[in-house]
Structures are given as C-alpha cells and as structure tokens.
Chain A
Amino acid sequence: MLALALESSCDETAAAVVDGKGTILSSIVFSQLAQHRPYGGVVPEVAARAHLERIDELTAEALHTAKVTLPDLDVIASTCGPGLIGGLLVGVLYGRALAKGSGKPWYGINHLEGHALTARLTHKVAFPYLLLLVSGGHTQLVWVSGVGQYKRLGTTLDDAAGECFDKAAKLLGLGYPGGPALEKAAQGGNATAFELPTPMLGHKDCNFSFSGLKTAVRHKVVGLGTPTPEQVRDLAAATQSAIARTLADRTARALEQAPQRPTALVVAGGVAANSEVRARLTTLAQGKGLELIAPPLNLCGDNAAMIAWAALERWQTGIGPFDDGHPRPRWPLDAAPASA
C-alpha cells in the first residue's frame, strides 16, 4: 500500500509518499514564509501563486526520494479543506489530474483529519483518544473514536491559539511567524511579572477564547509605551503561560467529559511544537495516568505525510474517499463525510 499526497491549504506546499505500515518514504515541505513575512501574515493570492509554482517539482522530488514511480502508487490524495481556497484548488486540481492520468483513485482529505490521525502514523495509538488540535487556524478538542468518527467537544469562540501567539508577538515587535519568536523571547522572561487572564478558566464547557487575552496584552503594551527588552521578555513569557494554562485547563475539562477513558491524550498542530504547551499537557496527562502523544516537530505543522496517512487509513478501513472533489474553505472535522 502506497499513497502520494499533496498539501496546499495555507502557506506550505508539501508532497509526501507514505506506505500502509506508516513508513514515511518521503515528506517534502516548502515553506512560503519568506514570501509572506513582509506582510506580517499569509496573503492568499501570494500563497496560491507559490503553490502553483512548486507543486509539480515537489511531487517529482517526493516520488524520487521515496524511490517510487506513479504506477507503484495505490492512491493519490489532496487536502480538500479547510483552508485558503486558492491554494486548495491548486492541490486538488493537480492531484485529481495526476490520479486521472495514472489511473489511480483520488481521495480528497480533510486537513484536520490529517492532524487527527497523525498520532496513529507516528505512535500507532489505538482508538478512542482525546485530541487537542491547536494551530494558527484551529483550536479544538476532538474525541476520536475511529477513522472518520470525530466529535468536537470544544472549539475556540474567536481566535485560534496560534493566532494569539502571532498577534501577541506582533504587538511585542517579535516578528513573524509569532509562535516560535514569542517562545524564544519568553525563554528569558518572568511569566509572573505581568498579570494576564487565563481565558475560560473553569468554564463548564470545553471551549476556548483568546481574543480577550490578545486585548489584555495590547493594553499592557500600550500602558508601557515602549517596552524595554526585559518587559518584552516578561510579557512574552506571561502570554505563553496564559495560553498554555488555558489549553491545559480546557483539555482537563474535556477529559472529564469524555464518553469513556481514552487510550491517550494526543496533541497535534503547529502550536504542539511549543515546549511550555507540551510541558503543561504532559503534567496533565500524567496526573490522569495517560500518556501524552505529541508528533515529532516536523509533523506538528502542515505536511503531506499526514494527508497520505489519512488516505491510507480510509483506504485500509474501507471507508473510501470523500469524493465530490470540491475544495472547501470551511470544513468542520465532525462534518467530514465518511464516504462519497
């Protein structure tokens, strides 16, 4: 069993080949970071152009690195959503045409499903498990009971956690992308030097909210005028701590409300690369007698290996493709059709 997958939902163009046992034979990711940095965020039209420029050569590279050819493949997959529509269209059309020309089935995969199943690619985690999906575009707690079987226990009411990292970093003049920049600045800071709210702390539901925290950071920055380097470090540390505390608190609530005891607590998405987030979730999991499963850093962010794996999981379980082929900017994970 071999799958080739393409990922083009945001600002990374990626192609990967994965086999049915979960061996990643190749995973090529081209980051468009340099193209978006001047704008302080992802520009959809710039992203779409860059995806088209790269997708064919990345596919060739992924096949070459994996030492396979198109006839060797069993399935070709593309991220179908959610994401920026211009980029999705490139990956979907390219993937569909590639599949058509090579006589292979094509699977349109929900990007979030790719993140949700990454723990099974890397750690062979058994169902059911609790997933904290936390990235620049998403912050969700999802009960994963099978391939194509997802129940959202909580989601953000406004910004995603990664968005909060990015915006706070921008307020502090730390550059883009904000997550890694803020984490680096926070390393030398005192998280207790500034008091920031822990959004939704203790709420009965499992939802998140980060816009209030962002506003609180802005008020601190405005109040300071021009923060000193030390104040920037302290505010970065306080912000990171507040985000991590919120994520841990909401995840703890979800564990209480889970329909049964999970096999593990799984974290996925770009923010899963943050060491304080991982540390707090590890403490939480250990307190509950669970293992925290976090993918390696290269699989935390957007990549095509997770899309290939999701396609393989669908293939192997006989669920089959989601095949209407329509790229969709919004596509909640628990609305993912199980089949065509």
Chain B
Amino acid sequence: MLTLGIDSSGLLLTVALCRTGEVVASRSVEQRRQQGEVLLALVDECLVQAKSELGDLAALAVVTGPGSFTGLRLGIAASLGLARSLNCALTGYDRFTLLRTPETALVFESLRADVFVQIPGHEPQMLLPADILSRWPGAVAGDGVAKLMALDPARPVAPLPLAAELAAQKVYADLQAKRELPPATPYYLRAPDVTFPAAL
C-alpha cells in the first residue's frame, strides 16, 4: 500500500512516500513564495524515485498545522484536490500529535513574536519565547527554536523527524488497524488576524 504525506505548515516543505509503512522517498525544500507548484513537483519527484504513479496512492495524509496559515492551507488544498481526483483516502494530523514526546517542548514558528508551543503535560498554546524558557527547563525542538536559542544559547535542542514522513506512516498504520481517520481540517491554533477596514 502506497501512502503520501505532505507537510507545508512549517519552514520546510516536505513530501514523503511510504510503501507498507516504510519511507521509500522523501523530498524537502525551504518554503518560499509560490511553493504551490513546488509542492506538486515534489510529489512527482517522490513518485519517480519510488517508480510509482499517482494512481497507485491508497491514502494521503496532510499535516494540518499549526504553522504558517498560508502554508498549511496550500498543503490541505492540494491534498483535497488530489484525494478527490484520485478517489483515495485523505486524512490530516497536526504536528503536535505526530511529533509529541514526553521529554521535549515542541516549538513552531508562527511568523509572530509568540510561537506555537506544546510543553509536555500541557495543551498547545501560543507563548513568547521567554515565557517558554521560564516554564520549561528541558530540551526544545521544532522550527521555532531559533527564537529561544537567541535568549538561551545553552538550551538543549532535540532533533525532530519529518512530520510528512510520520504522517505517511501513520495513515498506513491507522488504515491497517481500521482506525477512523481524522478529517484534513486546518489546525490554526490562533484566531484570524482581523484588520478592520480603513477609516472612511
């Protein structure tokens, strides 16, 4: 069974292909503007490497966030279009669910002063880097750690696996176990930026 994982929610855009739960191809590029066509090109590259075709895909798993609003929408929109046209299963997993460990605080870039964070034992939230450091003494991981390192260069940073690869593996495992697949809905964690219209 071939499963595809897509993660466009972070600073790195990743597409990964798994066969029976084993990663057989994985491509990552730094997120830039116009990454939409890059995302679909990465899908092609993975398929070529795995000597497979789009029609072979049994399921898609997209990383739903939190992260760049625009980025995660790109991944979900592309996944919705692929899943409908290929008539294959589609699900979404958030980054905390995929990457959570009991020893590490996960910190993801939000392009704001505060970052998306999950401290072990706590719900995901948005915090300023200094607040994270004061509340959590242990290791940190994720694409938002640079802001923490600027304040505490000695803080241990744990490596993280690629969420797209984990997503492709997890959907395979969930299908094998006949678990219900969660919908591919965005996990924003932050309310919309509301800009009131300019004064008349």
Tell me the A residues contacting B by CB distance below 8 Å: 39-41, 43-46, 48-49, 52-53, 55-56, 59-60, 70, 85-86, 89-102, 167, 170-171, 214, 218, 325-327
Contacts and interface: CB of A to CB of B under 8 A. Distances in A.
6 closest cross-chain pairs (CB), A and B: A101-B85, A97-B81, A45-B192, A98-B81, A93-B77, A41-B197
A86 B196 contact: no
A24 B1 CA distance: 40
B69 A98 contact: no
Interface stretch (B18-26, B35-43, B124-132): B35-43
Interface of B: 34, 36-37, 39-40, 43, 54, 69-70, 73-74, 76-86, 185-186, 188, 192-197, 200
A96 B36 contact: yes
A316 to B, nearest CB: 24
6 contacts: A49-B192, A55-B80, A70-B85, A89-B70, A96-B78, A97-B80
Contact of A89 (B73, B82, B83, B185): B73
Contacts of B34: 326
Given A39-B197, A45-B69, A171-B200, 13 more contacts: A39-B194, A41-B197, A48-B69, A49-B73, A89-B70, A96-B36, A98-B82, A100-B40, A100-B54, A100-B81, A101-B82, A101-B83, A326-B37
A95 B81 contact: yes
A86 B36 CA distance: 12
Contacts of B70: 48, 85-86, 89
B196 A40 contact: yes
B186 A97 contact: no
Given A56-B84, A98-B84, A43 B192 contact: yes
A40 to B, nearest CB: 6
A171 B193 CA distance: 25
A96 B37 CA distance: 8
Nearest to B88: A101
Contacts of A95: 81
Nearest to B197: A41
A102 B77 CA distance: 15
B77 A60 contact: no
Most chain A CB neighbours (cut-off 10 Å) among B77, B79, B84? B77
A305 B80 CA distance: 21
A10 to B, nearest CB: 14
A95 B200 CA distance: 37
